[in-house]
Chains A and B, each alone.
Chain A
């Protein structure tokens, strides 16, 4: 079976991607012009991409097309011009750039913040507070076929023993953060318990963060390995050599300049 040739645009893309990746990784040696170039390119491309998407999604899809369709079909209907209201509010936000009329943006922000605060209150209370408290005060003793029983299986998160541990943890951590009451006597025991629970959770968070960051590295290395192949013109080894030589040249030049000074 003949080998499928990779399109030129893909090979070119592989070289660009590999080069940019190695430019960013050059920061591991030292902050240098290659890294700064990659960094600024990243910000620039992200902004450019966002602008294009906002233009086509917001201005075209959500504003222009509904207006155009509405005016064509029902020019006299008031509802046709409804998208003008959020457009006007959006334009008010942009008055921030003109100091004399920047106060107009407050009207738009008041609208946004008022709506956001209003919708958040009942939903936050329901989802984050009530539901969480509900699960914290689960019954310890349950009625089964053999009568009343309490679970002591640590491996089962819903067992009685784990419910007790969970309750102690939640209350002690909440107490630790309650600074209006002095942490002395029984309060100190509760606060110290809370601290140890916190340390366990932070340790777990660190472990998961390590896992996450290493996964990102694995992903990038996998791409570099793929682009090291002959079908991509050995992009990785060639560009690695170019990057190393560039860094060496830059370092030598910097040391020579430092020596002269």
Chain B
């Protein structure tokens, strides 16, 4: 039983990991067929994994309703929304459109989901402004650099900043000097300075993720197995 609960999953991880790491370097038709087949399977398995996530949300709110915890009425609203959307969806055959016209499912998506999701994230605009006002202070040289960089990018990425600070060319004798505008500085900042930092972070994080993947394949990292004393 211990073999089935512990050794078998680790063996599967090892075999799958090594096989598909090596597959990248083997252009043989059998190797290509293997990755085609398994990636098709992964699509189906991912669908079941989504069910897991959805069922977890169900469970949390079902417990809240059963215990009549504070705010359980809203959990009832959530359930009602899920059931209604599913009912409408199945009634419409999962289609947003039928014969060129919008189905009830499509209507629900366009007039409830799109505005709700859009508004939820757009509200952050107000909080970012409020946070910038309260917290964005040049307390140190580093904070000052951050502040100046943010202001330059905010100016350079909109037409107003590009118009107010367009840059100019000055000729002194036979020399021509170009004084960069907000747009030019922003482009340089993004393409050179920002790229340098992002590249360094990317290289560092990638090396870490490769190390983690190797640890998983070799069985040193087992947290994905879900814990328990027989891990």
Contacts and interface: CB of A to CB of B under 8 A. Distances in A.
Indicate whether A and B are direct neighbours in the complex (CB within 8 Å): yes
Interface of A: 9, 12-14, 16-18, 20-21, 24-25, 27-28, 36-59, 62-63, 82-83, 85-87, 89-91, 93-94, 96-97, 102-103, 105-115, 117-125, 128-129, 132-133, 135-136, 154-155, 157, 162, 165-171, 173-174, 177, 194-211, 213-214, 216-217, 219-220, 223
Contacts of A157: 188, 191-192, 195
B78 A206 contact: no
Contacts of A118: 16-21, 23, 213, 217
A9 B110 CA distance: 11
A202 B228 CA distance: 40
A204 B195 CA distance: 11
Q: Which of B37, B178, B196 has the most CB of A within 10 A?
A: B196
Nearest to A36: B74
B94 to A, nearest CB: 4
Interface string B165-190: 00000000000001010001001111
B107 A13 contact: yes
Contacts of B206: 124-125, 128-129
Interface string B120-133: 11111110100010
Contacts of B153: 203-204, 206-208
A166 B196 contact: yes
Nearest to A162: B192
B124 A155 contact: no
B199 A203 contact: no
Contacts, number: 390
Q: Report, as a range, how many residues of chain B touch the other chain.
A: 35 or more
Given A41-B112, A94-B51, A196-B142, A106 B9 contact: yes
Interface string B93-113: 110000000100101111111
A40 B41 contact: no
Contacts of A136: 199
A69 B116 CA distance: 40
B30 interface: no
5 contacts: A115-B20, A174-B200, A204-B189, A207-B150, A210-B132
Contact of B203 (A38, A133, A194): A133
B13 A51 contact: no
Contacts of B35: 119
> 3 tightest CB-CB pairs across the interface, nearest first?
A44-B81, A48-B85, A169-B196
A170 B90 CA distance: 53
B44 A125 contact: no
A38 B201 CA distance: 38
Contacts of A42: 113, 116-117, 120
